[in-house]
Structure 1
């Protein structure tokens, strides 16, 4: 983690939300996460000094027809957030399982298992909570810059769609290279002494050397490289069984030695977050904000332009990022109105041409980078670095996700850029946060800071699956998405502090912080894995799958009666499964809703989801389906 919970989020200038109070709906997982994050930034509970309940019209509009509401208020500014389950989706969504089922989370997470599977944590709600906090921070920045928005709306369903945005774009690309369905399977591996482990490398030569040192068949290791390399994009990794057999023939110490010799990263898969962190430990903030001295603050962010509809309108972000986490952070800031100048190497980012494509550009790349202005610069040369400094001199934010130490090598670290732009918000999105802590925790040099290694080490790979199943990171990029969200949120906190008179601010966040947020939100702080009953996995129906809501899962007798059982069954859950098989998922869901029970047909094809007119309000289509902004701001 990047900072302890008792540390001020801005060391020199105080917390960005000092003087504000936050209040929200009780019992909503998403609202609880949003409130905790706003309090980490200095917002207080309601008290005599700040009358949150006096927020009046903004609060009433947030609560009307909403599954949750939040209000952030001080004497001089008030903003509110309405958090729904479905948002613009014309679907009867009212719980986490329904959102996971309808919006593709179960489908993408379940690809490696061969069928839809729920995430055993409230992932969509967690992302929705972060979006809610971001919306409030952005609205407040807009108000302090002269804007009029006092209400922001978002939803858990839109959070889920943001999470599967890359997969959705790839599944709907208009070109001929759509991803072909892949067989299930993938890491982790298990050693002869019973240690599950994940590995990571971006280089085929190192992959080959690792498996050769372990004695793997050369044909098998050659066949395994492409699915291993492609697993981030496909959420599935059908490796040759010979590789699993090779790993199972060696003790973990031998595998770790081969990894060190080959120059790849290897990490044990921990079963629950409690193995990495005491369950009673305070939840750490997901970002570290430092600086903020008002001695040389530089000019404050420019006022909003007349008629601006988005809170970051007129602000400029310079972004130098790759893969998912950093580009997503810049994408979210663009959706909030900022102009994003994206630095790419001469000839463009190589990921632009990875199929499937829309025209000549990768659909996945467009899902994270459309609408950004590209500036090509070779950062390995003095001229390229000079270009970046010149761009940053007129910017409000500089964002990168370079490897640790690279910024200093380039001469583009926070101190270097504060010299050319004193009021800059400088954001570094990393993998592990504190490299020394990551290296010490794993007994050596810092491993590559990638999604699946972070899931493995943090215990998240255990929490996404119930007790009784072997711990295994999801092949859906859970921490890449949350890491990007948290980086953007840290930038918003920095911009808010700048609006309130602070100087230049550095924001550090990490993929590991996304894992920590999820584990802290899990029962007992992630110390225990969830226990599933027989109705937790989706049920097969005549035309697909059906996910039961929490009340239905815990009341199999009631479900069986609603589906027409004429007498109590010895095994009600088995009776429910049998009754579902002969009917359409939508018809079964309708009958259960008539009995007061929630159930949702499960999306098993993202192309079908994009074609559903009930989803159209959340998507843009133009060669592929792209997720629209998850926020709506109104005055």
Structure 2
């Protein structure tokens, strides 16, 4: 279905054009076939810098100013841009979430609102865990990790990613490649920690061992021990025909709807009164619950006896991992042993009393536990049952291990996110985990809205791979010019804004360089702030490249977008990335 342009806004400007396109695509999928369609769609906006006080607000500038370049570039030794519109895609999903949540609240009888978000807020949300780790007091501080990628090269020149979450499988894989156990063991911690640190400095002996074997031998070692081995190619394209999510109505007709008073609350909490039960680990599922909680839902986490093992992941403050807390703060917790009948019964009881049940269990685990959609819908036909996976059914019945980095490879992002002069490799920033969680949250919102309009529950499914496919990218890898990269100044790094990058000759004249090829050298002569003022005066707005996430919380430019540490939450975190303002009658 076609959707109108954002009501009451100006025509889209180039910096946020991709985000608007993504939002319209997702809203079309959300509203297609529902009674009323897009007729009552609220006014919505997508901006560039939003509440962040920086000059430029295009994709590249948002990456630079908000720390995305810094986190992505850690593995390579310095800030580097993601060369596809990743932040714009994230922001487009956020925009769709704001509109869908507003429509849900309106369907419950609450006042109409207008909503908005921005590229800067999207960028900040993607670094949530890294910002928490950078700003929290660590009870057991570890030295900062050195640069390094997890990508390995075989004897016949293939670049490969390996994946396992099992230390025994890791040890067996390396033993088959003739690596001593002690040496292999030194690689386990940096390998598992890469999800939180965005770097992976493996012992050189591991690189050398893979380099001694052809690809087929490395694959055979992986197959023998349950380790996924995937070759990284130059292709930037994702598997065709992947929908961001799928929704199927519950098979049973629910009872007649009971009408009541709309939930009380302010406009910024459109999901007030919604109860979500979340049984999820790592990033994808918890991020979905985190977003729903920020929109006003009550979220109850189901954790194993003793708590989620991720609670011990360093850095730790106040007895809990700050990375874990960054995605799970504000959720209540119920411990249940799903291997026992009593534990499963406890989850059923929670789900029957909830609006949403979401999980990111391994494929088939829901049915094995008797906690699949059919089982829960038989007891609660209006339940929105949401599940997330690594690959869904796109890669066949026995897919690789469903983690971020393999999803980047299979989704074409390992090549699309790096420039053509770099070998393809996944970003060690958890790009598909975060985006996958946001897409799952939008699937939940679509399910909730559908339930309000047709009084029927549903099953919603998404995957890391389907989220990766949402990122627009060129068929050929991006070639970066020198002025497209972070540029050293006398005291830091500068990123030219979109307008400046499109007018290199004018940039050269502004900074007093004889030509565009001399701009880089000229910029080294003065401070970042001095050059930013010159460029602003010339109509070429640009930004400083953020290289210290800890400083974000104290930067006045981010005061409205980043919440500083306080007595209750000992780390900085992004503020909710939407505005909701009640519409005033004409």
What is the TM-score normalised by the length of structure 2?
Answer: 0.93
In structure 2, the partner of 1:438 is 395
1:412 counterpart = 2:371: yes
Q: 1:619 to 1:503 in 2, by over 3 A?
A: same
Q: 1:554 to 1:180 in 2, by over 3 A?
A: farther
In structure 2, C-alpha distance between the alignment counterparts of 1:480 and 1:596, rounded to whole Å = 37
8 Å contact kept, 1:138–1:492: yes
Mapping 1:23-422, distance limit 5 Å: 23-24=5-6, 25-26=11-12, 27=14, 28-43=17-32, 73-74=38-39, 77-178=40-141, 180-274=143-237, 276-277=238-239, 284-292=242-250, 295-296=253-254, 299=257, 304-309=262-267, 310-422=269-381
User: 3-state SS of the aligned residue for 1:242?
Assistant: helix
In structure 1, C-alpha distance between the alignment counterparts of 2:126 and 2:216, rounded to whole Å = 36
208-217 or 405-414: which moved more?
Answer: 208-217
Residue of 497, 500, 508 corresponding to 2:453: 500
8 Å contact kept, 1:202–1:229: yes
In structure 1, C-alpha distance between the alignment counterparts of 2:259 and 2:20, rounded to whole Å = 29
In structure 1, the partner of 2:501 is 553
In structure 2, C-alpha distance between the alignment counterparts of 1:439 and 1:602, rounded to whole Å = 42
1:605 counterpart = 2:540: no
In structure 2, C-alpha distance between the alignment counterparts of 1:242 and 1:427, rounded to whole Å = 43
8 Å contact kept, 1:304–1:313: no
- Give the deviation of 1:248 after TM superposition: 1.4
In structure 2, C-alpha distance between the alignment counterparts of 1:543 and 1:300, rounded to whole Å = 63
8 Å contact kept, 1:320–1:344: yes
8 Å contact kept, 1:549–1:598: yes
- Give the deviation of 1:298 after TM superposition: 6.0
User: 3-state SS of the aligned residue for 2:434?
Assistant: helix
8 Å contact kept, 1:102–1:602: yes
In structure 1, C-alpha distance between the alignment counterparts of 2:525 and 2:260, rounded to whole Å = 62
Residue of 500, 518, 522 corresponding to 2:473: 522
8 Å contact kept, 1:294–1:501: no
In structure 2, C-alpha distance between the alignment counterparts of 1:218 and 1:411, rounded to whole Å = 39
In structure 2, C-alpha distance between the alignment counterparts of 1:154 and 1:590, rounded to whole Å = 27
In structure 2, C-alpha distance between the alignment counterparts of 1:592 and 1:190, rounded to whole Å = 43
8 Å contact kept, 2:56–2:497: no
In structure 2, the partner of 1:69 is none
**1:598-626 C-alpha deviation (Å, 9 max, x unpaired):** 32110101101222122121222221102
1:627 counterpart = 2:574: yes
In structure 2, C-alpha distance between the alignment counterparts of 1:164 and 1:555, rounded to whole Å = 30
318-327 or 35-44: which moved more?
Answer: 35-44
In structure 2, the partner of 1:6 is none
User: 3-state SS of the aligned residue for 1:547?
Assistant: strand
In structure 2, C-alpha distance between the alignment counterparts of 1:508 and 1:40, rounded to whole Å = 14
Q: 1:341 to 1:604 in 2, by over 3 A?
A: same
**1:310-331 C-alpha deviation (Å, 9 max, x unpaired):** 1110111111000000000011
In structure 1, C-alpha distance between the alignment counterparts of 2:224 and 2:81, rounded to whole Å = 38
- Give the deviation of 1:246 after TM superposition: 1.4
In structure 2, C-alpha distance between the alignment counterparts of 1:304 and 1:522, rounded to whole Å = 42
User: 3-state SS of the aligned residue for 1:562?
Assistant: helix
- Give the deviation of 1:73 after TM superposition: 4.2
236-245 or 382-391: which moved more?
Answer: 236-245
In structure 2, C-alpha distance between the alignment counterparts of 1:626 and 1:209, rounded to whole Å = 39
In structure 1, the partner of 2:408 is 455
- Give the deviation of 1:252 after TM superposition: 0.4
Residue of 520, 532, 538 corresponding to 1:589: 532
Q: 1:269 to 1:328 in 2, by over 3 A?
A: same
Give the alignment's Cα RMSD to 1 decimal: 2.0
**1:20-42 C-alpha deviation (Å, 9 max, x unpaired):** 94324445110011011112234
- Give the deviation of 1:284 after TM superposition: 3.7
Residue of 449, 471, 483 corresponding to 1:535: 483
User: 3-state SS of the aligned residue for 1:343?
Assistant: strand
Q: Which runs of 5+ in 2 are unaligned?
A: none
What is the TM-score normalised by the length of structure 1?
Answer: 0.86
Number of aligned residues: 569
Q: 1:585 to 1:100 in 2, by over 3 A?
A: same
8 Å contact kept, 1:175–1:358: yes
In structure 2, the partner of 1:614 is 557
User: 3-state SS of the aligned residue for 1:187?
Assistant: coil
Q: 1:205 to 1:616 in 2, by over 3 A?
A: same
Q: 1:262 to 1:383 in 2, by over 3 A?
A: same
